[in-house]
Amino acid sequence: MVVPAWMHTRISAEEYDSWSEKQCVGIEIVDGMVVVGPSTSKRHNRLARILANALDAAAGPDWNADTGFDVRLQDVALTNRRPDVTVYRAETIDLTPTRPEHVLLVVEVVSPGSETTDRIVKVDQYAKAGIPFYWRIEQAPTGVPIVCTYVLDPATKGYRDGEMFTGVIKAAAPFSVTVDLGTV
């Protein structure tokens, strides 16, 4: 396989913004460099969709929850992440790119190939960007997901551990949701 030349050079926010949505699917930009994400399984996608639907229903009129779009963490060097689920202010639905100040919560469903990135790298990036809540969902061999929650400490710009759940998700303020994910 020959890797396209654009994967070996830094790209700017302007260049990335000129790409089509089709070109952007499956990639993230970290410090201006294209990072190709691992393929996700049907189980992964289903879990993210169930969670996004539940969070969207519980969020009320002020917040939306969706999957599959970029959150622009910084412009220089360009860093775009594509969380599995993002809860963001409803009034910003048409603003592109979505910025950290529009986001309440990002969720990453850990997949083979994304363990280190989801457990270490993204936690730090989301915290430094000021996103108040981060959830990491581990897909256990039993089929019952493990949900690790983190809450931003504004003083340190780092996350502190929140609660851990097995198969049940409870959201933090300003909304409340309980989802039984036990057999997805």
pLDDT digits (tens, 9 = 90+) for 43-74: 888 889 988 998 998 888 999 999 989 999 99
> Does the pLDDT of residue 183 top 50, yes or no?
no
Side-chain-facing half-sphere of 84: CA atoms under 13 Å: 28
| Calpha distance 65→87 (Å, rounded) | 4
Please give the DSSP secondary-structure letter assigned to residue 90: G
How would you classify the pairing of strands 33-36 and 63-66?
Answer: unpaired
Question: Could you tell me which residue, 171 or 81, shows the higher pLDDT?
Answer: 81
Band (pLDDT 50/70/90 cuts) for residue 171 is: low
Whether 178 has a pLDDT exceeding 80, the answer reads no
Predicted local confidence at residue 184, as pLDDT: 35
Percent of the chain with pLDDT over 90: 43
Q: Note the pTM of the prediction, 2 decimals.
A: 0.84
DSSP single-letter state for residue 121? I
Across 76-85, 109-118, 148-157, least confident range: 109-118
